[in-house]
A and B are shown apart, each in its own frame.
Chain A
């Protein structure tokens, strides 16, 4: 009975959405804001990667919010798991030599790759979130492969907070110098070079570190 009712309800919603989508022009070049970003993005922000220009310049405030959401998720997990720590199993079997060596070998490489991704976020596809995720995967590997080499959670917390602070402080500096919160107060430089697009690379570094630390912290919490 419940299922039938649910089905009917979903059917109505479905019909509604179909009607709604009917009048939305798909694939047509009508998107007002998007067009503006595509044609003026590089000129206005100096970032070659338009996605980045949108993420960190036009809608940089949203990004700050999203970083915060991730931050909250990590904190929230900490709150929920607080006081539920089981004792770590003492007799952990060490990983095999191959795995151990592999981990130690790959770990810096992964970090480096992650860093590359977020530092070049304004030039190539990718950015802080992606880079951060890659870094976190490096930590996951290290947790799984070499359990002895755990990095203390404190450091993650500090990195996390600093990343967030840098973002906010950059915004405030922007407010003081440029008159707008998060305004691009550094010179835009020449497009396609590493040191271009003003504060975008700095923000992306902050985001990268923060996301990396957060995700790693979450993994740490979950493993424990």
Chain B
């Protein structure tokens, strides 16, 4: 009975239930995500042996029916989504106090459901539907604070997101027109016969990459991201950064590897990744005021790194990309969550307001530092392991262009170090200013300690422990990432598993 479809159905059911519960709604997302977490952990051993193909609807064989594919990659990401989602939702219990809270929790759960659906589905149109679920709920959540900035950036996000979505739809339409099928394995099968010569395929690929690229935040398409991240509630920034843009990256990888297997195109993907990386990191260094915006730019940079690693197009590259994806999801959600209460306490998003917080909020500052170090890629934190695997993949590929890119990656790491150390020194080494400074809310800190509430502290500590644990004992995750990477490379196997079982 452990069907992977429950990963989608149960949260969906819960989210329909949530508005009925009013005050109790805030406990719904943790319950649903805990369920998902346990289920996906239970599924891992089974999936590692053989991917599970789940038929939906009448149970007709693909391509006639929608099917889910619980491959190692899908389960890995589902696991990640439920883990981060679970922790963030616990944090949100105390953090989200004002506004239409039950709507917040419902939308939040739906966002995660959408993300889970994206990574599990085996049908391109179904993927689009879940994409819309994810995007539309995130538009609404970005505006949750209800202030002018929130609305403005939500509208910006909405406009760009819908352009992206419509591009995806055009891409799907082109493929459907060409092959008469929506099943990804079937499309992939057809494309292998065609080989990538037909202009329709070119154009469809372009539409897909552009469309998914908007959500995946690759360079010129990511202008929504800094605004949205900085004006959303911190929990949502954490989810957007940790989960939502990852699904965009997943979709790009899925489309390029499984659907089109566009080998010659990959160096181009790597170039885009590198440009995204550079622009993101440099913007983050240039952003000296708003900490959330800085983190958002850094997300852009990290996404660039992940995409670059996908663009290396070897097993090692994909491995590094997935590893980095996992680590970045953990670290960046940690950073946003930690900064969430810091911002709340000091009443300002200004970097300078954080001076001396290390004394007032010691644990939050500590975990923030751990997250930042992990992102820079310092050992013994998780980020180091993934960064080193990406760099080694880049050098192993034995390609001059990639070697140059690797040097750029190293350069970007220096920039990353500059701006993260800037925050860390603000937290720890600068003297805090006048306690009344910037204080607008009640319960603002005086000189004494004012740590987060315990329910918010536990999730971020768990995240920090995970980062350290992965950094010291990478085997915790590398097994499933390895099989996920193999799965993503193995297009023929994917087609065979889905179309050939009947």
Of A62, A66, A171, A175, the most chain B CB neighbours within 10 A belong to A62
A126 within 8 A of partner (CB): no
Q: How far is the CA of A76 from the CA of B154 in the complex (A)?
A: 11
Report B-chain residues with C-beta under 8 Å of the C-beta of A31.
176, 180
Contact B181 A33 (CB under 8 A): yes
Nearest A residue to B62, CB-CB = A33
- The reply to whether A16 and B206 form a contact with Cβ atoms under 8 Å apart is yes
Of the A-B pairs whose beta carbons lie under 8 Å apart in the complex, a sample of 8, sorted by A's number, is A33-B181, A34-B180, A79-B143, A79-B146, A80-B140, A84-B146, A165-B13, A169-B13
Q: Which of A24, A79, A83, A176 is the one whose CB lies under 8 Å from B141?
A: A79
A172 CA to B3 CA, complexed, in Å = 11
Report A's interface with B, CB cutoff 8 A. Answer: 16-17, 19-26, 30-37, 44-45, 57-62, 64-66, 68-69, 71-73, 75-80, 82-84, 157-158, 160-165, 168-169, 171-172, 175-176, 178-184
- Which 8 pairs across A and B sit closest by C-beta, in order of nearness? A76-B140, A164-B16, A65-B129, A20-B203, A31-B180, A32-B180, A168-B13, A24-B177
Most B CB atoms within 10 A — which of A20, A172, A178? A20
A16 to chain B, nearest CB (A): 5
> A183 near B174 (CB under 8 angstroms)?
no
Closest beta carbon of chain A to B202's beta carbon, Å:
8
Binding stretch for chain A, among B102-110, B295-303, B392-400: B102-110
Contacts of B180 in A (CB 8 A): 30-35
Task: Using A16-B206, A68-B110, A184-B58 as known contacts, say yes or no to A23 and B16 having CB atoms under 8 A apart.
Answer: no
Task: Name B139-190 residues within 8 Å CB distance of A.
Answer: 139-141, 143-144, 146, 151, 154, 170, 174, 176-182
Would you call B60 and A72 a contact (CB within 8 A)?
A: no
Any A CB within 8 A of the CB of B69? no
Q: Which residue of B lies closest to A59 (CB)?
A: B66
CA distance in complex: A184, B99 (Å)? 41
Q: Which residue of B lies closest to A35 (CB)?
A: B180
User: What distance in Å separates the Cβ of B140 from its nearest Cβ neighbour in chain A?
Assistant: 3
Contact between B139 and A76, CB atoms less than 8 A apart? yes
- The CA-CA distance from A172 to B10 in the complex, in Å, is 9
Our pick among B16, B132, B133, B200 for the contact of A24 (Cβ within 8 Å) is B200
The distance in angstroms between the C-alpha atoms of A65 and B178, with both chains bound, is 25
Contact call A157/B20, Cβ cutoff below 8 A: yes
Does B55 count as interface, using CB distance less than 8 angstroms? yes
Residues of A within 8 A of B176 (CB): 31
Give the residue name and chain of the A residue nearest to B100 (CB): A82
In the bound complex, residues from chain B placing their C-beta under 8 Å from that of A57 are 57-58
Residue from B18, B59, B103 in contact with A178 in the complex, judged by beta carbons closer than 8 Å: B59
A190 to chain B, nearest CB (A): 18
Residue count of chain B within 8 Å CB distance of chain A? 65
Cα distance, A165 to B6, chains bound together (Å): 14
> Does the CB pair B99–A16 fall under 8 Å?
no
A183 to B58, CA, bound (A): 5
A16 to B141: give the CA distance in the assembly, Å.
35
Bound CA–CA A79/B151 (angstroms): 11
Extra contacts besides A80-B154, A168-B12 (18): CB < 8 Å: A20-B204, A21-B200, A31-B180, A33-B64, A33-B181, A34-B180, A59-B125, A61-B56, A61-B57, A62-B129, A69-B132, A72-B140, A79-B99, A79-B146, A82-B146, A83-B99, A165-B13, A181-B54
Which one of A19, A65, A66, A75 lies within 8 Å of B103 (CB-CB)?
A75
Task: Given A32-B63, A44-B60, A61-B66, answer yes or no on A69-B129 (Cβ-Cβ < 8 Å).
Answer: yes
Answer yes or no: B199 CB below 8 A from chain A CBs.
yes
| CB-CB under 8 A for A72 and B58, given A19-B203, A20-B174, A23-B198 | no
Query: Which of A32, A75, A157, A163 counts the most B-chain CB atoms under 10 A from its CB?
Result: A75
The smallest beta-carbon distance between A199 and chain B, in angstroms, is 10
**Residues in B whose Cβ lies below 8 Å from that of A80:** 140, 143, 146, 151, 154
| Known interface pairs A58-B64, A165-B17; A69-B136 also in contact (CB < 8 Å) | yes
**Contact partners of A78 in chain B: CB under 8 A:** 100, 103
Chain B nearest CB from A191 CB (Å) reads 16
Nearest residue in B to A30 (C-beta to C-beta)?
A: B180
Contact call A181/B56, Cβ cutoff below 8 A: yes
Question: In this assembly, does B9 line the interface, its C-beta being within 8 Å of a C-beta of chain A?
Answer: yes
Contacts of A82 in B (CB 8 A): 99-100, 103, 146
Q: A69-B129, A69-B132 are in contact. Are A75 and B60 (CB under 8 A)?
A: no
* Residue in A24, A58, A71, A160 whose CB lies within 8 Å of B57: A58
Given A32-B181, A33-B63, A72-B133; A79-B140 close (CB under 8 Å): yes
Contact among A24, A64, A161 with B20 in the assembled complex (CB-CB below 8 Å)? A161
B131 to chain A, nearest CB (A): 10
Contact of B57 with A59 in the complex, beta carbons under 8 Å: yes
In Å, the complex CA distance between A80 and B107 comes to 12
Query: In the bound complex, how far is the Cα of B12 from the Cα of A103, in angstroms?
Result: 37
- Output the least CB separation between B28 and chain A (Å): 12
A165 to B19, CA, bound (A): 11
B65 at interface by CB-CB < 8 Å? yes
> Chain B 1-26, CB within 8 Å of chain A: the 1/0 string?
10101100100110111111000000
Query: Separation in Å of the B156 CB from the closest CB of chain A?
Result: 14
Bound CA–CA A143/B455 (angstroms): 44
Q: Residue of B at shortest CB range from A160?
A: B19
| Distance between Cα atoms of A170 and B199 in the complex (Å) | 43
- A61-B126 contact, Cβ under 8 Å, with A68-B12, A80-B151, A175-B3: yes
CB-based contact B99/A172 at 8 Å? no
Check B130 against A65 for contact (C-beta < 8 Å). Answer: yes
Is B248's beta carbon under 8 Å from chain A?
no
A212 to B143, CA, bound (A): 25
Which of B58, B129, B179 is close to A44, meaning CB atoms less than 8 Å apart?
B58
By beta carbon, the residue of chain B nearest A168 is B13
A77, B104: Cα distance in complex, Å: 12
B165 to chain A, nearest CB (A): 11
Which of A73, A171, A181 has its CB near the most chain B CB atoms (within 10 A)? Answer: A181
- Given the complex of chains A and B, what is the CA–CA distance between A77 and B198 in angstroms? 43
Interface residue B117 (Cβ < 8 Å from any Cβ of A): yes
B171 (CB) vs chain A CBs: closest residue? A20
Among A31, A34, A65, chain B packs the most CB atoms within 10 A around the CB of: A65
Interface status of B71 (Cβ within 8 A of chain A):
no
